[in-house]
Structure 1
């Protein structure tokens, strides 16, 4: 299944909804949107929602790694929402690559994830 990304941004909050297997081309479309939000609003809060997600191609993983290095300090909170056990593991794996607070939520707790990512006090 080809990957799809939908991005909705409002101020410093960006919702990223992904499905399928993400390719380098998909990253080339949505990373500039994130970088524009960073330039406009500073540190971002990201709600990353995975539905029927199958991971990344090697090229997309490289693009993700480059984004993480370039924006190590540009994220405030990242709520990762998913359906699968490995997605939870991915949230733990991501923590050393950002100064952001990163937390995983099951898809059934999407609203709780949305609330958490918008909180202003440290968790």
Structure 2
């Protein structure tokens, strides 16, 4: 039986800037990344000159298939200079470690959190 997996993306305005929220569920696939790529690209084009803050919720994330792992790296490399702050919301040591590794690929500030209210508070400062 195949398990449910997806990536969702939401965008909202925050004091003239952009807040993007991602939620990864299950074992993410290449098709999941392709489903959100146009949304991400469009939001980033519309936000030129704005600070882009990102909340990445991986509390229900179980990993990637091989192609999706590459998609994740490519996304980070292609948009490494676009993000002002990235808050990773997780609940495990491997997610905390992955968030630290992710810092190598982005210019903006990135932090790991286990409480959503703390993550949002830090993002909005």
- TM-score w.r.t. structure 2 length? 0.87
Residue 88 of structure 2 corresponds to residue 110 of structure 1: no
Native 8 Å contact 1:2 1:22 kept in 2: no
Unaligned runs of 5+ residues in structure 1 are none
Partner of 1:97: 105
Alignment counterpart, residue 34 of structure 2, candidates 24, 28, 33? 28
Native 8 Å contact 1:37 1:44 kept in 2: no
- Cα RMSD after superposing both structures: 1.2
Residue 88 of structure 2 corresponds to residue 80 of structure 1: yes
Instruction: After superposing the two structures, state which structure 1 stretch, 41-50 or 81-90, moved more.
Output: 41-50
Aligned residues: 117
How far the C-alpha of 1:48 sits from its partner, in A, is 0.4
How far the C-alpha of 1:39 sits from its partner, in A, is 0.6
Unaligned runs of 5+ residues in structure 2 are none
Native 8 Å contact 1:23 1:56 kept in 2: yes
Alignment counterpart, residue 21 of structure 2, candidates 5, 12, 15? 15
User: Which consecutive segments of 4 or more residues in structure 1 shift more than 2 A?
Assistant: none
How far the C-alpha of 1:57 sits from its partner, in A, is 0.7
